[in-house]
Every structure is written in C-alpha cells, then in structure tokens.
Amino acid sequence: MFSRLNLTSLAGPILVLMVLTLFILPLPPFLLDLFFTFNIAVAIIVLMVSINTKEPLDFSAFPVVLLMTTLLRLALNVASTRIILTNGNQGEAAAGKVIEAFGHFLIGGNIAVGIVVFVILTIINFVVITKGAGRIAEVSARFTLDAMPGKQMAIDADLNAGLIGEEEARRRRKTIAQEADFFGSMDGASKFVRGDAVAGILIIVINLVAGMIVGVISHDMPFAQAGKTYTLLSIGDGLVAQIPGLIISTAAGIVVSRVGDNDLSEQLLGQLFSKPTTLYITAAVIGVFGLIPNMPHVAFLMMAAGIASIAYWTEKRSRERAQEVPPEQVAAAQAAQQAQEQQMQEVGWHDVAPVDPVGLEVGYRIIPLVDRNQDGELLRRIRGIRKKIAQELGFLVPPIHIRDNLELKPNAYRIQLKGVDVGEGEAYLGQFLAINPGRVLGPLPGTPTTDPTFGLPATWIDAHLKEQAQSLGYTVVDASTVVATHISNLLQGHAAELLGREEVQQLLDHLSKEFPKLVEDIVPKVVPLNVLQKVLQGLLDEGMHIRDMRTILETLAEHVNKTADVDELTSAVRVGLGRAIVHQLFPGETELQVIALDPGLEQVLLQASQGRGGGLEPGLAETILQQASQLTEQMENQGLNSVLITPAQLRPLLSRFLRRSIPQFRVLSHSEIPDNKTIRIVGVLGGRVAA
C-alpha cells in the first residue's frame, strides 16, 4: 500500500504537521539545534532561488513559502522560550549550542552592545526591507488587476488577427490570472514577515523579563548571573530567528521588485557597469575626494583606480565587439543582396499586388485603435462586426486589412471596398462623439462635426463632458465605436458586392457538411455556381439574409429548368422564403401594416414594365420618390417599417428604383405573404398620380 503513495505529495502535509507540532511538544536542545540549522538553510535556499528567478511566476509558491517559514520561526521561538525559561538556570548552553554560539557572537562580551545590535537588525528588517517589499507588492497587485482588461483585449486582438491560436490564447489568459493571484497573495503574505519582526521584538523582551524573574525567584540565582545568562540566551534566540527572517524579507523584496526577464546578475552588471563614461566620471570624483587633506587617501585612491580599470576594460570590450560582424548584420547584408538581385530580375506576376476586398486606412494619431501592442480596441470590435454579420446574413465577410496612411489627416480614416473609397471620417482618441438624434436639450462645447455613419449632427467632446451630454439627450460613443459602426453599416450595405464566387464556394463547403447530398445533387449539376451567386447577391442587395440555404437551393432546383432569368429565379426564391422575409420585417406580428399601390398607378407601372425600355417616365419617377419619402417619414414617426406591397410583376422594378434613394423602403409581392398573416393598409402610394 505504501509503495503506491506519492511521497512528493506527502511532503507538504508532513511539513505543516511538523511545524504545528513544534508549538505544542517540548524539544530537547539537540533537536532544537537541528531545527534552527534547518531554518537557516531554508532561508538561504529561498534567497538563492529568488536571485536566480527571471520572472515572478517562476517562483509562484513564494507566498506559501513565506507563510511556512514564518510559522517555522515562530514555532522555534515558542520551543526555545520554553527551554530558556525551564532550563535557563543550567547555564548558557541550556537552550542548545546554536543559541549559545549566536549569543556569544553578537554580544561579544558586552550585553548592552548585543541588545542594541539586535534592535538595529530588527528595525532594518521591519522598517526598511519588509515595509518596502510590502508596498511594492501592494502596488504591483493593484496595477496588475487594473491592467487585466487591457491584456485580455490584447490577447483577443492577436487571436482575431490570427497571430496566435486558441491554445496560446488560453495559455496567456491563464498567465494573466496567475499574475493577479500571485501579486495579490504577495500583498497579503508580506504581512506575515512584518508580523514576525514585531513578534521577534516582543519575544526577546518576554524572555529577558520572564527569564530574570524565573531565575531569581524559582532558581535562587543571583540577579547579576540571571541577567547575564538570560540576556545571552534571549539575544541568541532572537538573533537565530531574525537572521533567517532578514534573509526571507530580502528574498521577498527581490521577487516583487524584479523588472524584466533577465538574470539578476546580468541586469546588475549590464546596467551598472556597461557605460565606461559613467565609470570614468565616478573614478574621477572618488579620486578628487582622495586628494582632499585628512581624507583616507589610500582607500579613496585605490577605489578610484579600481573603478577606472573596470571602465577601461569595459571600453576595450565594447571596441572589440564593435569590430566583430554580428550574425544579424551578416543576415541583413545577405537579404539586401538578395533583394538587389531580385530587382535585377524580369517583372513577373509576383509584382502585381492584389486588391483587398475590404480595407481600412488610418491616420497616425488613431493608430493605437488598431495597434495590437497598444491593446487596440477597434481590432476586437472588427472581429465582433464580422461575427455579427455572419450570424445575421449567413456568410463570412472577408477579413478587413488595416494599414496606416501618412497621406491622411492625423485623425482621419478611410474605408475601402475592392480598392475604392466607400466611406471616410475622423476619430479623436480620448474624446467622445455626442450625436444629436434630434431631441436634445442644449448645445455642447466641442468640435462640431457630422456622424459619418448616419449623417446626423454631432460634436466631439472631452471625456469629462460625457455624463452632461447624456443628460442632455445626446447619444455618446467613443472613437472606436464610431469607426466600428461606420464599418458595420458599410459592410451590410455592400454585402452583395462582398459575396464573391470564393465566398459562395466556402458557403457550399460549409453546407455540405450538414447536407452533403443536397449540395452534391444541385450544385453545379442543376444550378450553375454563377447563377446561385447572382441570386444570393440579389437577396442580399434587397436586405434579405441567406441563412436558409436549404430552401434557396431546393427552390432554385425546382425553377431553374423553367427559366434562366436571374430576376425570375430570385422572385421564386423570395416566395419560398416568404415566411422568413415577413418575419424579418414584422417580427412576431400577425397583422402586417403596409403601404399599397394606388390602382391607377399600378396600371401605369404595369404598362411601363411591359414596354421595351421597362423604365419610368422622369416626371412620374420624381413624383413616386417624393410620395415614398413622405410615407417613409410618416411610418418612422409611428415606429413602423416602410413596406410596400405590389403585384409580383412590379416588385423587382419598384424595389430597384426605390432602394437607390430610400434604402429602408422595402417592397413585397402579394405571393410572398404567408396565408396565416393579415394585411392592413396604412398608406397609399400614388393617389395624386392616379387622379
């Protein structure tokens, strides 16, 4: 049975039980000597590990080590106090050889000097080292917690940009959480060492007073002999506990004050003695002090000579390294030679730069919004935009390629679609855009502008005016939200252009995992890929999603043998998707409040659609647009969507005509309305025209 036990896992419980036992059971002097020696050895091990640790998390067990070493010292203090008060009358070796040796070493024949030196050591440990280490741990814990959201967003940005994978992202998130836990634990664990220093002072006072009382009263010792014996034992006991405490406190200070991931020795030597000029100046100053009368000339001049020698040696090493050609320069020279050779080659297809489907160019002042190293907030928002569009429309938008452009204004940005500018605006870091939705209570101080997405009047304001702007009725957003909203609006408005043949093929590949037979039988055997692409683009162009690919493919397979006209195929698909279209426009409503065509206008449009040109007379078109705009405004004031219901023959014509000027105006055909829905006419388009 015991062979199955993991001895390593038993080390912790055994150590804790052993320390707690020391508080209760009396120890003979020999065992006390062994435990004191063990305590000193553990303190030295902790110090060496702290010096050689490159990052704080490499010694993540340090808070627990602080607790255990503090408990061990206190337990030894209790055990030694018991022996001192019980056997102190037997002489200076009553509490063991270690306490006796430390007492003689520190006192040196003078009790007053020993007491003063012990108090000084305790003050150094308590006031200087422990207090400083505790303050550093407290500030580090606070800053680590404050920086956690920014670090998490930086990880998300790297993950979105494809620079790291899911495993690396999880590892980094775990490291951030461990850093917060470590510095938080160090903030609390530093109080153990501080309390131990206070306990050391109290214990030595108790041993001195109680020992002399016990020695004089219980053991009939002369007062002078009792004072000498118990003072030596008390100071020896305090010293043998305070020296490991001082070492542990130093180790704690080293761990929490480390900056960088280099070895401590490399940092000290590389940063203190790496600049010959600094060392020469120091040597000159020390040499001048050595020439002043009544100064210790030998000590100062020897130190000046030593520092000057180190400076000379450092300068010599720097010159030798400068003459050596580093491997990086060799590689750079080879790369430059290869680039020059490539320039001499003939022009090829590699010189043709492809056009990005979607691009974002930013001025230099808003680069932090898209900089991974500065926790760029916009990177995370762009990922959210692509995910949202994919969920709503049913296909994956191409990645957005971001680059800086020094030709733009410092705060300007520009959105491009297939190399063509489709939107631009300005964003100001640290400020907020207060958008006037039309019902604000007063003006705001700031930079007047226009919301780049919806064209509403707006003002860039300072951060301290945010609450005031919200109380006045403004819609307040930060700089990254302004750019992200603009990008989202443009991507949704140009979704049909972004659905290329590659995206359609990716959509089919994804669909074939769930419906392999459906895709295999229809595309491209029955429905050509280019026809499917045009139908999907037609649906997206009219604001319809393409998530129900099963219905789309089945409807196309049924009608593609009857007609090859894309508009007719799109209309057939829309009928098949009628329930989804109506639900998108009238979610959860049984009665549909729509706009109808005046019968007279309907006849005019039917005649126009049957003509050769298939277009509208200019005067008639202008009148229809004016009335449609008025109806749209009325419907929006009532909180309703502007939806026009027409015969199936007129729907494509009116939809193309109206959405150019009024994108939010939707057109449905009678055949797209499900049977379980009722219609209520709330407006008529073309009344005056019919008259």
- Could you report how far apart the first and last alpha carbons of the chain are, in Å? 103
Burial of 4 (0-12, 13-18, 19+ CB in 10 A): exposed
Report how far apart, in Å, the C-alpha atoms of 234 and of each of 35, 95, 99, 230, 473 are: 17, 10, 8, 6, 74
pLDDT at res. 268: 65
Report field, pTM of the whole predicted structure over 0.75? no
Q: Is the pLDDT of residue 640 over 70?
A: yes
Q: Is the pLDDT of residue 501 over 70?
A: yes
**Taking residues 426-455, what's their average pLDDT?**
91
CATH topology of domain 587-691: Rossmann fold (3.40.50)
Distance CA(117)–CA(106), nearest Å, equals 8
Which of 133-137, 258-262, 343-347, 438-442 holds the top average pLDDT? 438-442
Nearest partner of 511 among 351, 623, 631, 396, judged by Cα? 396
pLDDT-based confidence at residue 288 (cuts at 50, 70, 90): confident
pLDDT at res. 669: 92
**Taking residues 493-520, what's their average pLDDT?**
91
Q: Is the pLDDT of residue 605 over 80?
A: yes
- What is the token pair recorded at 82? 């018991």
pLDDT at res. 690: 38
Report how far apart, in Å, the C-alpha atoms of 110 and of each of 113, 116, 232 are: 5, 10, 10
pLDDT at res. 2: 43
Distance CA(467)–CA(471), nearest Å, equals 6
pLDDT at res. 363: 92
Q: Which CATH class is domain 358-496?
A: alpha beta
**Please, are residues 540 and 511 in contact by the beta-carbon 8 Å criterion?**
no
146-181: b (≥16 Cβ within 10 Å) or e: eeeeebbbbbbbbbbbeebeeeebeebeeebeebbe
349-380: b (≥16 Cβ within 10 Å) or e: eeeeeeebbbbbbbbebbebbbbbeebbbbbb
pLDDT at res. 428: 93
pLDDT at res. 533: 93
Distance CA(376)–CA(371), nearest Å, equals 5
Q: pLDDT by residue (tens digit) across 143-172? A: 666 666 667 766 766 666 556 667 787 888
Q: Is the pLDDT of residue 379 over 60?
A: yes
Among 246-260, 409-423, 466-480, 495-509, the range scoring the smallest mean pLDDT is 246-260
Q: What is the DSSP string of 347-367?
A: P-GGGSPPPPSEEEEE-GGGG
Which CATH number is 504-576 given?
1.10.8.540
pLDDT-based confidence at residue 275 (cuts at 50, 70, 90): confident
Distance CA(681)–CA(591), nearest Å, equals 10
Distance CA(360)–CA(405), nearest Å, equals 10
**Please, are residues 175 and 164 in contact by the beta-carbon 8 Å criterion?**
no
Distance CA(81)–CA(657), nearest Å, equals 98
pLDDT at res. 688: 52
The label of the residue with tokens 């139908």 reads 535
Among 136-145, 212-221, 428-437, 565-574, the range scoring the smallest mean pLDDT is 136-145
Report how far apart, in Å, the C-alpha atoms of 485 and of each of 196, 460, 489 are: 58, 16, 6
Q: Is the pLDDT of residue 436 over 70?
A: yes
Query: Under 8 Å CB-to-CB from 487, ≥6 apart: which residues?
Result: 360, 382, 385, 400, 415, 423
**Taking residues 87-104, what's their average pLDDT?**
69
Q: What share of the chain is helix, strand, coil (3-state, %, to 5)?
A: 65, 10, 25
Q: pLDDT by residue (tens digit) across 174-215? A: 877 777 777 777 766 666 766 776 777 777 777 777 777 777
